[in-house]
Structure 1
Amino acid sequence: MHGTTKARGCAHAGLGRFGYLFEGLQSWGAAMSDVPGESISPDEAARIAALLGGAGGVMDGGVAANHCASCVPAGYTFFAQFVDHDVTLDVTTQLHGPDLRGAGDDEPVKHLPNLRSASLDLDCVYGFGPEASPHLYSTDGTGVMLTGNAHNPDDLARNHQGRALIGDPRNDENIYVAQMQLMWLRFHNRMLAGRSFEEAQRQVRFHYQYIVWNDFLKRICDPAVYSHLNDALLDAAARIDDGDTDYDPKGLFDVTDHHGRPLMPVEFSVAAYRFGHVTVRSNYPVNTALPVIELFDERFSTEGFSPVPTELVVDWHYLLPVDPARPPVLTKAFDHLLVDELIRMPNPIVGKRATDHERSLAFRNLLRGYVVGLPSGQNLADAMATLGVPIDPTQNLDFSDIPGWHRIDAPTRGKLEQHTPLFFYLMREAGKVAGGQHLGPLGSAIVLRTFGSMLLNCRSYLTEAGKLTDDEAGRCGGHVPWQPLPEIKGEGVLELADIARYLLLG
């Protein structure tokens, strides 16, 4: 009977809240103020955000920004977006109105609800499981997830109005993330062969988590910081397996609330993880017939939230290293510049009433950082270094070398060089220290600590490594660590391209 048993597939963590990696740090807004104990006004914050991130500002890369590339395949930009939608959703924070804050008062952020579980559990795919989210599943009770529609079998399932039937509507906001969603739906359906729903779901989640940490983050993070925190993560996981309650003695992954549940730190969600905005290109390939389309292409309605026509079905060979003989397109460089399309977003994205600056994603990110009381980059770097993470809080980011920097008035410029908004600091760090190839040391530390906390404090391939389902125990004959399935994994570390390749071969 409905409601008398635990819903199948609903093993994810409860919804969480936002918080800080380091509580009590002075906010950027307060650091910029000439009045002790007070923050700069919202109008002043908006003025500075416009100088940096508005149309014509320092972060306006124009058309030229598209020509600078990293070494990361372009598909990871959309995988990053997919992961973001799995772990964070803030529908409360406003960029306008009388309640704007910038003084870094912890309490408002502590009470800010995260409408996603920060646990890498793919609730954006599974919803609340077949019982609680039946519209996502076949009616035959097998646990098969709905895909395709009458107009395109290679699209998401949709209702008669064209709305996607998926766990998170944001995964239909452009054709690439919609096709990424389809990839994971199909992977689940493949995993169902010979498995119960619960076992298939577990395998899908563990492969996904493994890819996030061992493939995705390794590509986008500073190698030294990744190595340091990867060693710490594996040590903590081994301590958990041994029953050690003090498994993280340095507190590297203690990003939790007082109940021990992972928090979503705003340093991550509002700054570091927004690196995806600077790696977006102006145009992308789709398939052989459409080797180049614009990011917001009016010919094809690539803005999303509408059915994907058959001619826009993505061939992942163009965006991921599926075939060594066919190198994929790469992301734009990791730096402080955004392409023109994200500085001047069109009406379907931001609405007709948006001002020139409000059309800029960089401007919005900077102003949001002020609203939630983010610390300056320098302040956070000092705090992070106390944990022993290999970063240099005195690193010189050579702001004076940035084109357009001297157009900022001298008093503001001097303050910004001492107290840099976190989002701008991290993107400049990526371009200057990491040469545009990946995040810099501080950005990497924020991202890795956040994801490491998710993996250690929720059900993951690390914490559940030796806990097999009955079906698995029968086949494996005992207590063994979890590993990617050999029919999916390539010769090296499991990569996102292996999932695409596995589905293509199926």
Structure 2
Amino acid sequence: MIYSKGHGRMPLTTNVEARVNCSARTFRYFDTGAPAITPGAERLAALTALGQAMSDPANFPGVADSDVAPIFTYFGQFIDHDISAGTDSNPPGATPGTPLPRDVLERDVVNLNTGMLDLDSLYGDVIVCCESDAMLATAMRHPTLPGKMLVAKPTPVPNDGPPQILPVPADGAGDLVRLDRHIDGILSEDKLRQLTDPALLDMFFFLKPDGTPDRPNLHRALIGDARNDENLFVAQFHLAMLRLHNRVVDACDDRAVIAAGDQALFEWAKTRVRWIYQWLIVNTFLPAVCNADTLAQIIEDGGAFYAKFVARTGGAPADRLPLPMEFSAAAFRFGHSMVRQNYDWNEFFDDADFSLLFAFTGGVANPMFGVTDKRLPSNWVADYTRMAINPGAAPNRAAQAIDTNLSAILAALPLKANDDPARPPRNLAVLNLIKGDTLNLPSAQAVAATISAMTGRAIPMMDADQIAAGPVGHAIAGTPLAHETPLWFYVLREAEAAGGLRLGPLGTTIVAGTLLGLVTHDPASYWHQPGSDGGRWRPADMPKVSGLAIASLPDMLRAAKVL
């Protein structure tokens, strides 16, 4: 969902040929025959100018805030990493901004994830034929309590007085497990140097200019999807989900499961964590970001939008679900606009520049403030009382509005550990706009027409004048973009035109229709389990976790004991 695209790492295995059933892990268009945009130098120049305008503070005299907590931005990123990987790099034979045929792109742009809301990013289930499966899977599990996932304590930061340590979590386990914990054991340097997959070498080592391993990156998190350690916010959310799993294990009251042993207990907890996660997406995430009337209709339809998409695109196997290219490469990237430049992170850093949230992740590992240990400094643990509760009027405690304004940090994405220092800064808005053309996404106007025909409901659309009436309209007026509008930009502009608090009708239809469809199309999801919510399961139907019946995102964080 956010700036990870092209800026993070793939899941632990990136060798497509080594994966099981890769042909089923594909992206599909709503309609491969939808009218294509008109490519050319004029359009490419207009896309570049528009992206630069979206990142220019001169066009936005003030930052507009949403009314939701910042955690929803990164919950969205976590969801994105769970369901998709593959629209980041250019497909074979592609020239940026020049579209390839859609049938070729459907064949060559492969989703390296299952497409399902199954938390393979948390549990590493996407790893299928990796040369280091066993080592990595073992490294992620608790050594003496195998039903649980392994978490770690950060490094206490000395101060003039007592060390700067946040009071939550009380047990001190506020960091992901990193390579330094295992470098002398199961993931020894000798074993890691025997890896042949370039992506794995890139993950575990700082590389020499020729691409060969230099020294181990001891700060690298050992998690199911390394992209979840690309910034500290999503890393801390991933940690909260790991901790939730462990607390669900503690809550198990099924004697037969407990008697069956650690693996049975692990699977029992894993199933319920997945259900909680799916329930939170439908009942907290979507209402926080979507137009209420459109969302209510989509939920009432019970996943019909996605079912029609699947039927139109050839069906889906039992253990894989297709994703609309228009969702993954455009509409679900709306969260880019919600990224703040500054956050009220915790009591030690109440005006933290977002660039600092890249400083303590496995992709950078640059010691700061005199901290030389490769684990997270204890004064950088997230304080969710500031970032997950209704923000009110407190400064830096709300996600930025959904609009056409991208924070300055996204105009010059930070260098990662193995980036070429001479590489020019990357502007995320420009990258997104050009990527849409490279992937031959239809214009917003064409996508709306396709969806209207597919669902039998007309989607209200802005005209060219309304599109060009916004803060960056000067970069659109008189260009091809006014009538063949990039879908990603249109989704942001229609939200902005309505106040920036929620997605508009087209954005909501694509985002909510897809995510709800992934839930309803999965027979193992919470949606199909019996329970007390009109006959459907809800978290209150399972044993209380940390004494709580989870009914909100803050409840989940409390159950994980990070709030």
| Fold shared by both chains (TM-score > 0.5) | yes
Q: Distance in 2 between matches of 1:317 and 1:65?
A: 29
The DSSP-based 3-state class of the residue aligned with 1:420 is coil
Distance 2:242 2:524 in 1: 19
Aligned to 2:82: 86
1:396-450 Cα deviation digits (max 9, x unpaired):
661332345335683xx2x221111111111111101x31011111011111121
For residues 355 and 169 of structure 1, do their structure 2 counterparts lie closer, same or farther at Cα, with a shift above 3 Å needed? same
| Alignment check: 8 A CA contact 2:548 2:559 kept | no
Distance 1:324 1:13 in 2: 48
Partner of 1:378: 445
Shift of 1:279: 0.7
CA distance in 1, matches of 2:291, 2:282: 13
The AA in structure 1 aligned to 2:112 is L
Query: Structure 2 matches for 1:30-41, cutoff 5 A?
Result: 32=38, 40-41=39-40
Most deviating of 221-230 and 249-258: 249-258
Residue 537 (structure 2) pairs with residue 482 (structure 1): yes
Please, which moves more after superposition, 134-143 or 439-448?
A: 134-143
User: Alpha-carbon deviation of 1:458?
Assistant: 1.9
* Distance verdict in 2 for CA 1:213–1:134, change over 3 Å: same
Aligned to 1:314: 382
Q: 1:280 to 1:173 in 2, by over 3 A?
A: same
Counterpart residue number, 2:155: 151
Distance in 1 of aligned mates of 2:327 and 2:306: 22
1:19 to 14, 23, 28: 28
Give the superposition deviation at 1:353: 4.0
Report the equivalent of 2:161. none
CA distance in 2 between counterparts of 1:111 and 1:252 reads 20
> Is the 8 Å Cα contact of residues 84 and 112 (structure 2) preserved in structure 1?
yes
Larger mean Cα displacement after TM superposition, 280-289 or 66-75? 66-75
How far the C-alpha of 1:505 sits from its partner, in A, is: 8.3
Secondary structure of the residue that 2:27 maps to in structure 1?
A: strand
The residue type equivalent to 2:505 in the other structure is P
- Between the aligned partners of 1:71 and 1:92, the Cα distance in structure 2 is 30
Alpha carbons of 1:90 and 1:156: their partners in 2 closer, same or farther (altered >3 Å)?
Answer: same
Q: Give yes or no for contact 1:253–1:449 (8 Å, CA) kept in 2.
A: no
Match of 1:290 in 2: 349
Verify the 8 A CA contact 2:100 2:440 in the aligned structure 1.
Answer: yes
- Calculate percent identity across the aligned residue pairs: 30
RMSD after superposition:
3.6
Aligned residues: 454
Determine the structure 1 residue equivalent to 2:298.
Answer: 229
Letter in 2 for 1:312: W
**Residues 1:462 and 1:233: Cα distance change in structure 2 (over 3 Å):** farther
Distance in 1 between the 2:392 and 2:467 partners? 39
Match of 2:460 among 384, 392, 402: 392
1:180 matched to which residue of 2? 237
Decide which moves more: 169-178 or 341-350.
341-350
Q: Which amino acid aligns with 2:144?
A: D
Deviation, 1:106, is 2.5
Counterpart of 2:434 in structure 1 is 367
Aligned residue runs from structure 1 range 18-97, under 5 A:
18-28=27-37, 32=38, 40-41=39-40, 43-54=41-52, 57-61=53-57, 64=60, 67-90=63-86, 93-94=89-90
The question of 1:127 aligning with 2:99 is answered: no
Distance 1:70 1:394, change over 3 A: closer
Amino acid at match of 1:46: L
The Cα of 1:459 is off from its aligned counterpart by 4.0
Q: Select 1:455's aligned residue among 506, 509, 519.
A: 519
Cα gap change, 1:317 to 1:425, in 2 (>3 Å): same
Separation in 2, partners of 1:325, 1:61: 22
Conservation of the 8 A alpha-carbon contact between 1:157 and 1:164: yes
Say which of 220, 225, 246 aligns to 1:163: 220
Deviations 1:448-467 (A, max 9, x none): 12112211222444454139
- TM superposition shift of 1:501: 1.9
Q: Secondary structure at the match of 2:540?
A: coil
Q: TM-score, normalised by structure 2?
A: 0.72
Query: 2-side partners of 1:331 and 1:317: how far apart?
Result: 14
Matches within 5 A, 1:282-361: 282-297=341-356, 301=360, 305-306=364-365, 307-321=375-389, 329-348=397-416, 351-355=420-424, 359-361=426-428
Separation of aligned partners in 1, 2:361 and 2:149 = 25
TM-aligned CA distance change 1:505 to 1:164, over 3 Å: closer
CA shift in 2, pair 1:395/1:257, >3 Å: same
Q: Structure 1 residue 168: deviation in Å?
A: 0.4
Paired position in structure 1 for 2:257: none
User: Unmatched 5+ residue regions in structure 2?
Assistant: 1-19, 128-132, 157-172, 181-217, 253-264, 366-374
Equivalent position amino acid for 2:487 in 1:
L
Matches within 5 A, 1:197-216: 197-216=266-285
Alignment of 1:424 with 2:489, yes or no, is yes
TM (norm. structure 1) is 0.80
Question: Could you tell me how far apart the structure 1 residues matched to 2:306 and 2:473 are?
Answer: 42
